[in-house]
Amino acid sequence: MVAPVGSVRLIRTHTRARAVRQGEVVPPRKWTGAAGGGVSAPLAIILPDPATRFATTARRLDSLATGHPMQEWLRFMAQLAWAQHAAITALPPSAALSPTWVEESVMARAAPLATDRHAVDAAWQRDLMRILQHFDAATLPEEARAVIADLKRYDPAALEALAEAFLRGTLDAHQVGPALYIAAALQVHFTAMAATLTADALRLLPRRGLCPCCGSTPVTGLVTASGRTPGSRYLYCSLCSTAWNHVRAVCITCGESRTLSLKSIEGDNGVVHAETCRGCDTYVKLLYEAKDTRVDPFADDLASLALDVLVGEAGWSRHAPNPLLLMG
């Protein structure tokens, strides 16, 4: 799935990145919530906008695919993002969680949408079927078409079991093909649910590297380039698409700062870096909006798999998988 990188090598940008003041930026998403720390403080939590979340990713993937070594795969992932957009924009308004439930979750220092506290509504299966139907007229490899046809024959109980295995991280090797579409449908479901919350009612979790809405891990981090105080880092949830502020120059896995180092591919455009930590031997990708204002946390992660390969070969493990890349 990953294109060969030939003689391309990693370069170290710098070690132990200098801490910068945190700030707010207006990305191509809905901003909600209170600054909570003075006029120049960053918003702590940014809830997703269902009307633009997946369409933005799809457009970015289509743009990045041109001339890319993984062009065909990126165009397929763009189709998947368009299918997610069609599914989420066809949804009736989602019922908001009880304010009492949200308050109790916050008081317990827990994420209100975490699956160990809040049962996943079976309506996600409707989102799955809409995504699968989007591919009915698409040109797909025979293997992909067979996976889709097989999923359409699953009964509701089998789909629930597959979703539970995905959310718990207990998928078997033979389930990774269907898991791509299960993950895509659950992203639609949780993004729609997160959008019904009120950012002012939420709080960052004690483990700052986890999503304050659903408790999932981030897919990437984005360093902002505009707004009242540019240069802040936001992590983007791999499941519900929520973004939350996280201090820079601190490992999101272990909290260490002494052994951080930024890595990038020699000769690239500087948009994507890997922040590596020798304290726990993990890394997270950082995207720099100053290098490309069109950067998208979800699309640019998929288009930079060569960096994952090189950093992995150098001895670091990704902090958490991208749910759409379990086959990797």
Please, how many CA atoms are within 13 Å of residue 37, restricted to the half-sphere of its CB? 12
Chain segment 150-185, per-residue pLDDT in tens? 999 999 999 999 999 999 888 888 888 899 999 999
Chain segment 125-143, per-residue pLDDT in tens? 999 999 999 998 888 888 8
Per cent of the chain over pLDDT 90 is 67
pLDDT interval class at 293 (50, 70, 90)? very high
Q: Which of the listed CATH numbers 3.40.50.2000, 3.30.1490.120, 3.90.1670.10, 3.40.50.2300 matches domain 10-92+125-325?
A: 3.90.1670.10
Average pLDDT, the chain: 86
pLDDT score, position 118: 73
pLDDT score, position 228: 63
Residue showing tokens 């272990």: 254
Mean pLDDT of 282-286: 96
pLDDT score, position 235: 97
* pLDDT exceeds cutoff 90 at 230: no
Q: Which residue has the higher pLDDT, 266 or 5?
A: 266
Asked if 125 contacts 185 with a C-beta cutoff of 8 angstroms, the reply is yes
pLDDT score, position 3: 39
Domain ranges of the chain: 10-92+125-325
Report the amino acid identity of residue 206. Answer: P
Distance CA 35, CA 232 (A): 13
* pLDDT exceeds cutoff 90 at 34: no
pLDDT score, position 12: 61
pLDDT interval class at 22 (50, 70, 90)? very low
Distance CA 307, CA 244 (A): 24
pLDDT interval class at 13 (50, 70, 90)? low
pLDDT score, position 125: 94
Chain segment 304-326, per-residue pLDDT in tens? 999 999 999 999 999 998 999 87
> What is the helix (H) or strand (E) element at residue 286, kind and residue range?
strand 282-288
Among residues 172, 173, 169, 133, which one has the least CA distance to residue 151?
A: 133
pLDDT score, position 88: 96
pTM of the model: 0.87
* pLDDT exceeds cutoff 90 at 46: yes
pLDDT score, position 40: 67
Distance CA 180, CA 323 (A): 7
Chain segment 187-219, per-residue pLDDT in tens? 999 999 999 999 999 999 999 999 999 999 999
